Each structure stands twice: as structure tokens, then as C-alpha cells.
Structure 1
Amino acid sequence: MVNVCLERKSDPTADEIAMGFKERGWSVRLLDSPGAERNAIVLAGKVKNLRRPRLLLVPEADAKQTGKELTAMRFQRRRSIFRNRASVAQTDTAFTSLLTRRYTG
């Protein structure tokens, strides 16, 4: 599971991470929200039967906004990035570089 902070509507970062998992043979689903600046969640592994998340506990702060954002999240259909895959070598390099650049200090 990777939480990805996206800066604009057309930001391909979550798709690139999902493609990296897909190239390694993992089943992948992408949970995303509408809008520009947002978080997307890339899930890999046994993801076929996952359902949309729901709020189980009411947070102390921003409960209403959190509930709205969670309700807006949807599992995305397969995007073109999965159909137009790059070579495995290019994907391995890009995936490793992307994770290193974004998720390490």
C-alpha cells in the first residue's frame, strides 16, 4: 500500500507506481479522489475483493470533511498506462528511481 500525494489532476505518479507493481506481477488497484491536489492510494497484492473504505471511528478534528473526502474516493478503472506499458527494464529503473526520490529522505 502506497499513499501518493498528487499535485494536479493529470499527475501520473500514482499510475507510475501502480505500473511498477503490475510489471512485477502484482494485482493492483488504485483508490483515487476527484480534483487536483489530493491523495491516491495504490494497493497491490490480494486486492480483487476490496471494497471502498468507510469511516469506522469519527475523528476529533475535521470529521465532516474527512467523511466527505472518503465518500468521494473511488477505485479507478484500468487506465491507459496499464495498456501502453514500457519495457520492463525502463519500468524497473523508473519505479526504483521514483520510490527512492519520493519516499526517502
Structure 2
Amino acid sequence: MKMKNMAAMCGVMVLAACSGGPSDPDLQEALKVQIDQLRANAFTAPMADAMQASIQKLHLANCKSADAGGYQCDMVDGNGNAKSIRMIKVDGKWSIVA
């Protein structure tokens, strides 16, 4: 009986991993898209260059399914400072929304 319970639990964990929220690489890719949009404007291009160097230090924590769709997560920098963001998946790609 224990083997059946363990097998069922493993199946649930596999499904949860497949349908889970965004990962750190998903966050970094979403930020790259936003940075590229900033680079298109001469006024914000210098700010985009400064931001590009810092995105590798960011990671996600405490991601939870959001009522409005997507996931509400904490974006944490290398110093432990956190900012709450919401990420949604559209056409297979994650993006950050306000």
C-alpha cells in the first residue's frame, strides 16, 4: 500500500513541476525583453545598459499563483532586497506585468 501512495505522490510532484511558475532564467529573459525595449529609445538607452549587467544577480522567490492569472513572485537582488512582481505566460514566454 505504501508503494502505491509513494507512486501517486511522485506523479503529483512531476505534474506540479511541469505546470509550475516561472524560473530564474524565465525572469532574466523577461527582463532582457524589457531592456531591449528601453534601448530603442535614445533617452532610456543608457539606463538599459546599466540594468543589463545587474539582471544576472536577480532571482525569484515565493512564487504563488495569482488570482488575476500568472504568478506573484518576489524578485530578489544580490543584497537580499525584494520587489513583488507578477509574471504571466503568453505564447510560451513569461513576461512581467504591472
Task: Give the structure-1-normalised TM-score.
Answer: 0.27
Greater relative contact order: 1 or 2 (C-alpha under 8 angstroms, separation 6 or more)?
A: 1
Greater per-residue strand proportion: 2
Greater per-residue helix proportion: 2
Task: Give the structure-2-normalised TM-score.
Answer: 0.29
